[in-house]
Structure formats: C-alpha cells, structure tokens
C-alpha cells in the first residue's frame, strides 16, 4: 500500500446515510432504513443538488439510481438465469438490497458486510425488524485489512466453498486511490478462486476526460470528497483500461455494463458517467 494512502476509511461511512435516504425516497427501501442523519444530510444538500440539476443538467440521484438499478438487474439475472445462491455485499451501508432480495428469493443466502460500526448498526436495524435469520446476516469487514478478524478470508469462511458466489460493492471503490483499491481487488480475486465459480459486481466512475459533463463531474466529486473529509478518485480513462486493470488484479473475464441496459434506470442525454463492472475469476 502506498505510504500516502489513509489506513482507515471510517470517514466514508456517513455517506451511507445519504444514499440510504435516496433509496427510500425512490421506493427502493422501507422506512426503517432511514436515519435522522440521512434525512438531514439530504435536506442540507438539496439546494446543491438542485443547482447542479438546473445549471448543468447533472442529477446526483440519477447517478445513484443508475448504478443501483443496474446492479439489481445483474444480480437478478445471476440468480434467475445462472442459479446463483450465495451473495456477499461488501460496504453494504444502509442499502436495502439484501432485504429486498431475501424477500424475493427465499433460497438465496445473503451476507452483508461493512466496517464494524456500520455492520453493528445494520445488524441492529435488521434484527429489530425481525429480518435477520440464518440466510440473511451482517458481518464486520475492512477491505483494507490484509489479515485479522476483519479480513476477506474471515468474511468468506462462513460461506459454502462448494457453491458459486457473487460479491457486490457499491459506492465504495472511487473513494480509494487506484493502487489501494487494486490491492483489494487482487486479494478479493484470490479469495474468490477458492469457489467453483465467482462473480464480482461493482460500480465504477471512470476518468472520462472527453465526456461533455466532465468538468461538472469533477466539481461534484471534489465536493463529495470534501464532504466526506477525504478524496474521491476517478479510475481508468476508458473501458479498455478498466478491463486491463481488472485482468491485472486476477480476474479472467470482464464485462462492462452501461445504465442504458436497464429500462427502469433514469437516462440522460449524454453517455453514462458510471459503469458497472462484472468480473469473473
């Protein structure tokens, strides 16, 4: 890990309250997923979101919904068409996906994971609603941990090693410098090779310098960085570079998905700013 990298990423956690409120607003989540901080943050940021929407046509909630609905669609396809029955969602935050998919697919095992304080909060939330059981659980993990109780090996040790697994991260990878997140991807690919088949789905914002909204996006992500007391990085300059990056981390097949694939996702007049990467080992 480069010396400049932060060794702890707890400063990112508050952003999960904001996105949790966005999922609720768009009827993707039930009320228990809403926190007072999420509602407050959404209200405080509303003038900025309005400004970006009216001045540049950039809708933050569109960007969030595009990635969320695309990951949902790919997960549904994996369950319904490929028989996937084990799902691990890392950096789950206050996302309602685990709950929604457990209700819809009673034979899917869904493990949610996040940094210990957020994992504890999510576990309590699901427990209080009576939504936790042997197939829907929450565990602590730190994607920066290379060993110890919060590393990937410990997280995956609770799964059935004889069955395929699908891993999701959403709203996570652009908070880290490329060498740091590539080191996570390499450790993840190594863990996934222990399973007979494995798929990794993640959203990723590339550094699309020719994009008509590039300057506005840069402005927006600098703001996200400042609000989360860290930085927000754009990774890889085009789709080919993304595919090369994932291959270099040990994934053998990489497909890139565009929000335009999902009819339910809001569409913009210009090419999408976000990709969802589907990588297999």
Nearer to ligand SAM, 183 or 199 (CB): 183
The CB-nearest residue to ligand SAM is 93
Nearer to ligand SAM, 143 or 254 (CB): 143
Task: Provide the minimum distance between the beta carbon of 248 and ligand SAM in the complex, in angstroms, as a whole number.
Answer: 21
Task: Provide the minimum distance between the beta carbon of 195 and ligand SAM in the complex, in angstroms, as a whole number.
Answer: 20
166's tokens: 């699908």
Nearer to ligand SAM, 184 or 243 (CB): 184
Task: Provide the minimum distance between the beta carbon of 275 and ligand SAM in the complex, in angstroms, as a whole number.
Answer: 15
Name all contacts of 28-33 with Cβ < 8 Å and 24+ positions apart: 28/68, 28/96, 28/100, 29/94, 29/95, 29/96, 29/99, 30/96, 30/99, 30/129, 32/125, 32/128, 32/129, 33/94, 33/95, 33/96, 33/99, 33/125
Nearer to ligand SAM, 127 or 209 (CB): 127
Task: Provide the minimum distance between the beta carbon of 111 and ligand SAM in the complex, in angstroms, as a whole number.
Answer: 13
Task: Provide the minimum distance between the beta carbon of 177 and ligand SAM in the complex, in angstroms, as a whole number.
Answer: 13
Please tell me the number of Cα atoms within 13 Å of 40 on its side-chain side. 4
**Binding site residues, ligand SAM, CB under 6 A:** 9, 12-13, 15-16, 19-20, 90-93, 95, 114-115, 118, 141-144, 170-172
Q: How many CB atoms lie within 10 A of CB 61?
A: 15
Please tell me the number of Cα atoms within 13 Å of 136 on its side-chain side. 25
Q: Whole-angstrom Cα distance, residue 248 to residue 185?
A: 10
Dihedral (CA of 209, 234, 206, 214) sign: negative
Nearer to ligand SAM, 129 or 209 (CB): 129
Task: Provide the minimum distance between the beta carbon of 167 and ligand SAM in the complex, in angstroms, as a whole number.
Answer: 12
- 245 strand-pairing partners: none
Nearer to ligand SAM, 106 or 148 (CB): 148
Q: Whole-angstrom Cα distance, residue 13 to residue 262?
A: 28
């Amino acid at each position: 890990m480069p010396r400049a990298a932060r060794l702890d990423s707890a400063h990112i956690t508050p952003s999960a309250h904001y996105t949790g409120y966005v999922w609720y607003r768009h009827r993707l989540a039930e009320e228990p997923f809403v926190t007072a901080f999420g509602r407050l943050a959404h209200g405080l940021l509303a003038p900025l979101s309005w400004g970006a929407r009216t001045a540049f046509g950039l809708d933050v909630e569109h960007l969030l919904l595009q990635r969320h609905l695309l990951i949902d669609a790919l997960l549904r396809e994996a369950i319904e068409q490929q028989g996937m029955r084990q799902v691990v969602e890392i950096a789950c935050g206050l996302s309602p996906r685990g709950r929604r998919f457990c209700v819809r697919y009673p034979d899917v095992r869904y493990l949610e994971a996040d940094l210990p304080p957020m994992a504890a909060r999510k576990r309590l939330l699901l427990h209080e609603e009576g939504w936790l059981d042997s197939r829907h659980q929450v565990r602590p993990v730190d994607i920066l941990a290379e060993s110890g109780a919060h590393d990937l090996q410990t997280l995956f040790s609770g799964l059935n090693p004889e069955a395929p697994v699908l891993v999701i991260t959403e709203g996570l990878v652009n908070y880290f410098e490329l060498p740091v997140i590539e080191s996570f991807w390499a450790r993840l690919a190594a863990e996934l090779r222990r399973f007979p088949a494995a798929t990794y789905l993640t959203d990723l914002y590339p550094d699309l310098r020719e994009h008509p909204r590039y300057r506005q996006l840069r402005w927006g992500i600098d703001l996200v960085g400042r609000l989360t007391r860290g930085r927000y990085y754009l990774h890889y300059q085009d789709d080919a570079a993304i595919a090369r990056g994932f291959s270099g981390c040990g994934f053998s097949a990489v497909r890139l998905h565009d929000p335009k694939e999902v009819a339910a996702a809001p569409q913009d007049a210009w090419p999408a700013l976000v990709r969802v990467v589907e990588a297999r080992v």
